[in-house]
Chains A and B, each alone.
Chain A
């Protein structure tokens, strides 16, 4: 006979799982956290930028001992064609504040630290343990999990599914669907190591200041996609992500796209002479608001990437994960402290908290963006970048051609590529999806 061992089981030790486990353990709940990797972080991949505010809400003094790489003072957005980039560049000394707003991190190290915090708060963390199936009673209520370790079902009042974008438990139990190819991007990433002072010099940084580059354009060969370059203390995270549906349709190889990005004349000098020490791949939820599944039920809640909580427009994911993990934990703690059962009705408190927060408000704002980028991907990721590059070149090149003719050539190129009506409708649709 099995008995109830824990108040809550958290499946997964990523951002959302650690946030949930820590918050519940701090509030005195008996928490068991399961992680299939050798250590927390060994299966986790992210760019990675960490937004301080959402972690501060959970661990206010995290800056004392969390492994942080560089705090970001500069952001570059690049529109690229094959030989050029047209960029927007924001740098501010205001980001050199006492409590910086964003940092680059290395997930394997950061997650190990976060997991240590969970243990210190009293949570039980069991690594090298893959949860294989949810256990449910005859009414369908989730009552625990089966694992690949010998032994009975591990029982708890509630299971927090923090199992990531490719989580099997919730999908196998029919609580949500497996992500669709058009709703997930495959990102591949390399870690390029360079001496700290070389990185500082190349990007114009002092101390632990950091810089971020996000790039879109012909590098994704007409597919919805994005390249990125993040400076860490003594390495550069360099990656490229494209929608899985786009990759399957074009049969492009993800590492060929990444190689193309690396060899681009704007990127190559930034990583010259680096030593690559790891190659990673990971799916990113891109479906936005419309892809969010049912978030709670009898005996379960789902958080983070598993719940598709990712803001693709602003490239925010781990902060939504931490926020959702914390809110799920707060809802569970509250229900527990009132001595109430973990029913679907009571756990709807979690959804109510999410709805009130930036998480759902931001995702709702951009609910039409994913479909706009899908249907117009060739325009947005191929035609416009080429036109923008041509326009900038026309503007800058001095060769005796009168300026009025240059301007006419630029305008004509835009109209030829997209037509007056096409340009107007793209602008209107973009404005509507953004507002």
Chain B
């Protein structure tokens, strides 16, 4: 049974507390022609919806809503498509409950 419109992920992330480190994204996508299957999967699998396809068909990241779970690292770091680091100490997500 299909149900009504799913909740917007932006509304979920809005509940969370973040300390964004401006100009220092902790995850970067390496330049690529067309995305690998795993890189493409990140546009669906990332729980914070940080990854998107741009108009020219490449995967881009905006890591501001990142919950630092590491799913993208597990899927794509070994292939070199992304560069993964933790935010600087104190920055990033701050769970109130966790």
**Chain A residues engaging chain B, CB cutoff 8 angstroms:** 36-38, 41-46, 48, 82-83, 106-109, 111, 127-130, 147-149, 165-166, 168, 178-181, 184, 186, 188, 190-191, 235, 244, 247-248, 251-256, 259-260, 263, 276-283
Contact = CB atoms under 8 A, between A and B. Distances in A.
Given A186-B71, A277-B15, A247 B41 contact: yes
B82 interface: no
Contacts of B13: 279
Interface of B: 1, 3-4, 6-7, 9, 12-13, 15-16, 19, 37-38, 41, 44-45, 47-49, 67-71, 73-75, 77-78, 84-90, 92-98
Contact of A260 (B3, B16, B73): B3
22 contacts: A37-B94, A38-B19, A38-B94, A45-B95, A45-B98, A128-B89, A130-B86, A148-B88, A149-B89, A165-B70, A166-B68, A166-B73, A168-B84, A186-B69, A247-B45, A252-B45, A259-B6, A279-B12, A280-B16, A280-B98, A281-B67, A283-B74
B27 to A, nearest CB: 12
A147 B94 CA distance: 20
B92 to A, nearest CB: 8
Contact of B98 (A106, A127, A254): A106
B69 A281 contact: yes
A37 B87 CA distance: 10
A106 B12 contact: no
A44 B74 contact: no
A156 B73 CA distance: 29
B71 A244 contact: yes
B41 A251 contact: yes
B53 to A, nearest CB: 13
A332 to B, nearest CB: 25
A223 to B, nearest CB: 11
Given A43-B93, A82-B1, A255-B12, A184 B7 contact: no
Contact of B73 (A46, A128, A178, A255): A178
A255 B9 contact: yes
A254 B87 CA distance: 23
Given A279-B16, A280-B16, 13 more contacts: A36-B86, A166-B68, A178-B73, A179-B74, A180-B74, A247-B45, A248-B45, A253-B44, A254-B47, A276-B12, A278-B15, A279-B13, A283-B71
Ranked nearest first, the 4 interchain pairs of A and B with the lowest CB-CB distance are: A166-B70, A128-B90, A281-B47, A107-B98
